[in-house]
């Protein structure tokens, strides 16, 4: 027997077994499933807010006209998805949500990740740290200019004082993001990866919920931080193959993290959320859909890829995450070199 054929066959069996196991995990947590009230109405609302608030910024920062639709589609999808997550939290906590701030924060998350990974100019880590501490930031390219434009719009709308706790959380998020560059170093140990995963994901969701709704109270912050850490682990689970190919070490690439660990963490967190905030069912309905989407994208990575940007609001919600690197031309990539 050809060894390569045999090895490939073994790999397919392992993948199928892993997929069946994760499918069983998802089905065993079907109790989290429930209709999300007004999902189409909410999707339309978030798409409308994006087109009203964020889309004009895309056209002002020097991105080529032919590339603006792709950039807008990538940001719109991120804004809508994270808007639904923030809405689930708001329903659980019984607090209002600002749709404009939800889509702005979701959009800037997409730009920040791509700025950090692909498009940041010289000394971008230090320049962003200065920006988050209230300093100046001179954009080196159109992606940096887009980031600054969205960030300024958030500041203008959120109306928080410079010493508000959310800015300390933002600085901590950035510090962990900078540390995550070490995940490209093969010698990094699992304990360091774990700290980076918890910090980056935890503070990311703290900032999202704080900006999109109302300031988090000190007792609730650790619970939201824990949720964010689990969602970062879910992202790493979803991206395990691309991270492996890129030489990025995560808990998923090192230990083969499955949905078992993530769902166990969510089970442990559920009663703590209930005790502090209220009924977590609205949030867990969104999380359960997110789990299924991550499972599908892990197993069928091209799902939702290709074709023109979706036009229906619900299709925007289901769109596969697309990086700006997939939408901008080589000329823009050259600007960051």
pLDDT, tens digit, 9 for 90 and up, residues 44-71: 999 999 999 999 999 999 888 889 999 9
* The predicted structure's pLDDT at residue 264: 96
Q: Give the other-Cβ count within 10 Å of 273's Cβ.
A: 22
Task: Choose among 180, 211, 182, 210: nearest CA to 198.
Answer: 180
Above 80 in pLDDT, residue 335? no
* 247 phi/psi in degrees, rounded to 5: 75, 25
Q: How far is CA 31 from CA 2, 20, 152, 265, 288, in A?
A: 46, 19, 41, 16, 9
* The predicted structure's pLDDT at residue 37: 79
Above 70 in pLDDT, residue 324? yes
* The predicted structure's pLDDT at residue 301: 65
Q: Where are the beta strands (DSSP E) in the chain?
A: none
* 66 phi/psi in degrees, rounded to 5: -70, -20
Mean pLDDT, residues 78-107: 96
Question: Which carries the bigger pLDDT value, residue 256 or residue 23?
Answer: 23
Which SS3 state, helix, strand or coil, does residue 278 take?
coil
CA distance 174 to 54: 22
Q: How far is CA 248 from CA 33, 145, 184, 251, in A?
A: 33, 27, 5, 10
pLDDT, tens digit, 9 for 90 and up, residues 197-244: 999 999 999 999 999 999 999 999 999 999 999 999 999 999 988 899
pLDDT, tens digit, 9 for 90 and up, residues 104-122: 999 999 999 988 878 887 8
Q: What is the mean pLDDT of the chain?
A: 87
As to burial, measured by CB atoms within 10 angstroms (0-12 exposed, 13-18 middle, 19+ buried), residue 239 is: buried
Question: Which carries the bigger pLDDT value, residue 319 or residue 143?
Answer: 143
Residue 286 tokens read as 């969104």
Task: Choose among 177, 52, 187: nearest CA to 120.
Answer: 177
Band of pLDDT at residue 334, cut at 50, 70 and 90: very low
Q: Identify the structural domains of the chain with CATH numbers, from first to last.
A: 37-335 (1.10.600.10)
pLDDT, tens digit, 9 for 90 and up, residues 149-203: 999 999 999 999 988 999 999 999 999 999 999 999 999 999 999 999 999 999 9
Band of pLDDT at residue 300, cut at 50, 70 and 90: confident
Band of pLDDT at residue 307, cut at 50, 70 and 90: low
pLDDT, tens digit, 9 for 90 and up, residues 264-279: 999 999 999 999 999 9
Contact 21, 258 (CB under 8 A): yes
Band of pLDDT at residue 337, cut at 50, 70 and 90: very low
């Amino acid at each position: 027997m050809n060894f390569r054929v045999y090895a490939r066959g073994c790999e397919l069996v392992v993948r199928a077994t892993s997929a069946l196991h994760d499918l069983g995990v998802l089905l065993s947590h079907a109790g989290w499933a429930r209709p999300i009230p007004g999902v189409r109405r909410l999707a339309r609302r978030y798409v409308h807010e994006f087109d009203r608030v964020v889309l004009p910024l895309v056209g002002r920062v020097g991105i080529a006209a032919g590339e603006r639709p792709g950039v807008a589609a990538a940001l719109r999808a991120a804004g809508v998805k994270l808007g639904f997550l923030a809405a689930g939290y708001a329903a659980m906590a019984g607090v209002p949500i600002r749709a404009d701030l939800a889509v702005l924060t979701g959009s800037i998350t997409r730009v920040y990740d791509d700025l950090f990974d692909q498009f940041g100019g010289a000394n971008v880590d230090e320049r962003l740290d200065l920006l988050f501490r209230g300093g100046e930031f001179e954009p080196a390219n159109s992606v940096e200019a887009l980031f600054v434009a969205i960030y300024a719009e958030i500041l203008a709308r959120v109306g928080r004082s410079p010493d508000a706790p959310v800015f300390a959380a933002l600085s901590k998020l950035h510090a962990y993001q900078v540390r995550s560059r070490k995940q490209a170093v093969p010698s990094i140990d699992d304990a360091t990866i774990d700290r980076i995963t918890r910090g980056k994901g935890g503070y990311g969701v703290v900032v999202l919920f704080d900006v999109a709704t109302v300031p988090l109270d000190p007792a609730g912050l650790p619970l939201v931080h824990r949720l964010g850490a689990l969602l970062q682990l879910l992202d790493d689970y979803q991206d395990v193959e691309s991270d492996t190919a890129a030489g990025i070490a995560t808990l998923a690439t090192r230990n083969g993290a499955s949905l078992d660990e993530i769902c166990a963490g969510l089970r442990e967190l559920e009663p703590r959320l209930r005790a502090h905030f209220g009924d977590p069912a609205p949030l867990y309905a969104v999380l359960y859909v997110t789990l299924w989407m991550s499972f599908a994208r892990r197993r069928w990575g091209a799902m939702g890829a290709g074709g023109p940007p979706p036009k229906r609001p619900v299709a925007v919600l289901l769109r596969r995450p697309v990086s700006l690197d997939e939408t901008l031309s080589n000329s823009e990539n050259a600007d960051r070199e």
